[in-house]
Amino acid sequence: QVQLVESGGGVVQPRRSLRLSCAASGFTFIDFAMHWFRQAPGKGLEWVALISYDASNKKYGDSVKGRFSISRDDSKNTLYLQMNSLQPDDTAVYYCVRDPETTALGWSGGFAIWGQGTMVIVSS
């Protein structure tokens, strides 16, 4: 079945770096753009970054632009998020999410495939 499994979260000090990974299975990874979303404890959802299916296009939310970098290794069916200069406000559960499917009816726009998330805590 379609599955996304995040890893790499943990406790990190402010201004340090961390790299998250997301292992994808059950679908053709190279066919899909991928996203990272996050959710601070007790808060709402925030989109973090997008990478296109061929890695030619990357977009970032304003709060992480210049500090975070999204990448993918299609040979390993794995998505990454390199997080630098971490701040306490980056504390959140980070979700790996597959871009919606495109069918004969077009792009659905509905984000249906989410990983279980990995927790990142930025604290001294």
Partner 1 sequence: DVVLTQTPLSSPVTLGQPASMSCRSSQSLVHSDGNTYLSWLHQRPRQPPRLLIYKISNRFSGVPDRFSGSGAGTDFTLRISRVEPEDVGIYFCMQATEFPLTFGGGTKVEI
How many Å apart are CA 99 and CA 13, to the nearest integer?
31
Query: Which of 41, 44, 75, 104: binder of partner 1 (CB under 8 A)?
Result: 44
Residue-level length of the chain: 124
Q: Is 110 in the site for partner 1 (CB under 8 A)?
A: yes
The amino acid sitting at 45 is: L
Q: Which of residues 74-103 bind partner 1 (CB under 8 A)?
A: 95, 100
Q: Smallest distance from the beta carbon of 16 to partner 1, in angstroms?
A: 25
In Å, what is the CA distance from 31 to each residue of 7, 24, 43, 109, 114? 22, 12, 32, 16, 16
Q: Is 27 in the site for partner 1 (CB under 8 A)?
A: no
Q: What residue ranges bind partner 1 (CB under 8 A)?
A: 35, 44-47, 50, 59, 61-62, 95, 100, 106-112, 114-117
